């Protein structure tokens, strides 16, 4: 497959997906999203949260799998900061495709906690949208 064919295929993968959005992964496969990120020169960040039970577990896994710096504060404010400010200060950014797979749905990480987590990524999406940088976050629940 030529580079042009690959790019056209990746454009189809993201066709109809706004450049700045947080949405359910639904019909997308992680491998397709990773290929789309590569074809578009975007950062691809993936976190499998299937083993998490609590907010602290979620933050630990995201920090680990996104390779956040050791000084990451492990709270929602610090998560937002890591998804925006340091990246912005490091120079021009091409775009982001993020996958949060198997967000837990249990008593220790309830609907309100899940919405707070997704709100962080919505806020980050708005931040990057204001800078005309694509930021797409896809998620699934366990």
pLDDT tens track, the chain, 142 positions:
444 444 444 456 788 899 999 999 998 999 999 999 999 999 999 999 999 999 999 999 999 999 998 889 989 999 999 999 876 677 789 999 999 999 999 999 999 999 999 999 999 999 999 999 999 999 999 8
pLDDT at 90: 78
Q: Tell me how crowded residue 102 is: count the other CB atoms within 10 A of its CB.
A: 15
pLDDT at 78: 95
Bridge partners for 109 per DSSP:
106
Find out whether 124 and 135 touch, Cβ atoms under 8 Å.
yes
CATH (one of 3.40.50.1100, 4.10.320.10, 3.30.370.10, 3.30.428.10) for 3-11+31-141: 3.30.370.10
Query: What is the pTM for the complete model shown?
Result: 0.89
């Amino acid at each position: 497959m030529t580079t042009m064919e690959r790019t056209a295929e990746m454009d189809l993968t993201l066709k109809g997906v706004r450049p700045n959005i947080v949405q359910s992964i639904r019909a997308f496969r992680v491998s397709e999203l990773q290929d789309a990120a590569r074809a578009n020169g975007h950062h691809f960040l993936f976190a499998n949260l299937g083993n998490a039970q609590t907010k602290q577990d979620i933050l630990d896994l995201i920090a680990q799998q996104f390779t956040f710096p050791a000084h990451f504060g492990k709270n929602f404010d610090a998560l937002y900061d890591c998804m925006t400010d340091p990246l912005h200060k490091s120079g021009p950014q091409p775009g982001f495709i993020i996958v949060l797979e198997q967000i837990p749905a249990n008593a220790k990480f309830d609907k309100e906690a899940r919405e707070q987590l997704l709100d962080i990524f919505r806020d980050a999406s708005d931040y990057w949208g204001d800078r005309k940088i694509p930021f797409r976050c896809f998620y699934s629940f366990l």
